[in-house]
Amino acid sequence: MSLNKILVTGATGRLGANVVKQALDNGYQVRALRIPNDPKSFKLDGFDVEVVVGDLRDVNLCHQLLEGVEGIIHTANILGPPVGMSDAEFFDINVKGTFNLLWAAGQHANDLARVVHVSSDGIYPSGDLKIGPDYYPVDELHTKRPVGLYSLSKHLNEVTLEGIVRTTGLRTATIRPAGMFAGDELLSRWTVNFVAQRIRGGGNHPGGPMYHSKAAKIADDLLQRADNPNQWCSVKDVEGRPWAYQPSDARDVAAACLCVLEHPTAVGEAFNMAVPQPFTFPEVAAFLQERTGQLAFEVEVPVRFEYRIDLRKSKSLLGFEPRCNLEVAFGTALDMQEGKETDCVPA
């Protein structure tokens, strides 16, 4: 079944807006769902899309959304309860809303070529301060051990999807992005302040992968010695091993969503998504120092932050290669910060 018109939920989000942009660039017609009173509704103003305003907790809306579309890319979710929202309402939005959409899709299974469900690497122990992965790099077969309400909601949504597939024959594919960024929001993750907060947080979890009994003192010392909290940080552990992290660029995740939307071998599969290689803090600091002229703070600490994702499955089954390497990701971030035009829709 060829696809002409697709539904994108969460269309004004960090990922959703980039999916909309790339889908239009690839020739799709797009029905874009956004929530009522969405403060980011302006992100759709420049796109030739059919905008629908509504809430996935409305069962009738979910069925209406599917009329005339051949595929769905479901990105809609919230990362955590905003001020004034209870945990129960947050859970209702992420879990019940997803169930309603997927159940409705199951009733239209014969009319839909593919449903792309965006999950999260949070279903694994994804660099969490409480528990670490069993091995690196983390692949799609890693044991699911979600920590926190958001990760739990993502895990439950995957279980729901599996059950609906078995019940209805719905054709689906799942993308699990690592910690996702869009544009210049990437920059705050490579500073002295980020490193200090990561160390301090690890000290709150005895038995965790970053626990140190003097974590608070180490963090305070870093902040006192640095020129300022936002100084780029080139950090290694005392054995000389660099801190390393492998997040995902929203542009790569959007491209992966569109890839699995039609790729025949994607049906029934889940795929990790992240930047091509882990970013080490010394490499990032050197790049940012050269581009900005701002001196990086070099330091060794007695703990190490490491998170690496396995991308071999998407490469072998789909032939998909993420393009946002260090130069592309941080180059875009700096360009965006300077007000230059980029191919990324900001978060």
Looking at the structure, do residues 77 and 109 belong to the same domain, yes or no?
yes
Looking at the structure, do residues 214 and 262 belong to the same domain, yes or no?
no
Residue 337 lies in a domain: no
Strands 180-181, 114-118: parallel, antiparallel or unpaired by DSSP? unpaired
Residue 346 lies in a domain: no
pLDDT of residue 254: 98
Looking at the structure, do residues 164 and 133 belong to the same domain, yes or no?
yes
Domain that holds residue 223: 185-244+279-301
Residue 140 lies in a domain: yes
Residue 251 lies in a domain: yes
Residue 75 lies in a domain: yes
Residue type at 182 in one-letter notation: A
pTM of the model: 0.97
Q: For residue 148, what is the DSSP state?
A: S
pLDDT tens track, the chain, 347 positions: 568 999 999 999 999 999 999 999 999 999 999 999 999 999 999 999 999 999 999 999 999 999 999 999 999 999 888 888 899 999 999 999 999 999 999 999 999 999 999 999 999 987 788 999 999 999 999 999 999 999 999 999 999 999 999 999 999 999 999 999 999 999 999 999 999 999 999 999 998 999 999 999 999 999 999 999 999 999 999 999 999 999 999 999 999 999 999 999 999 999 999 999 999 999 999 999 999 999 999 999 999 999 999 999 999 999 999 999 999 999 999 999 999 999 999 99
Looking at the structure, do residues 295 and 323 belong to the same domain, yes or no?
no
pLDDT of residue 80: 85
Looking at the structure, do residues 119 and 177 belong to the same domain, yes or no?
yes
Looking at the structure, do residues 232 and 265 belong to the same domain, yes or no?
no
pLDDT of residue 79: 87
pLDDT of residue 180: 96
Looking at the structure, do residues 173 and 219 belong to the same domain, yes or no?
no
Looking at the structure, do residues 288 and 271 belong to the same domain, yes or no?
no
Domain count, the chain: 2
* Partner residues linked to 248 by β-bridges: 180
- The H-assigned helical ranges of 58-181 are 59-65, 87-91, 97-107, 149-168
Residue 285: closest CA among 274, 276, 298: 298
Q: For residue 309, what is the DSSP state?
A: B
Looking at the structure, do residues 131 and 212 belong to the same domain, yes or no?
no
Residue 339 lies in a domain: no
Strands 50-53, 172-177: parallel, antiparallel or unpaired by DSSP? unpaired
- Give me 162's structure tokens: 């599996």
Residue 83 lies in a domain: yes
Looking at the structure, do residues 212 and 261 belong to the same domain, yes or no?
no
Residue 342 lies in a domain: no
Q: Which domain CATH number covers 128?
A: 3.40.50.720
Looking at the structure, do residues 117 and 261 belong to the same domain, yes or no?
yes
Looking at the structure, do residues 45 and 141 belong to the same domain, yes or no?
yes
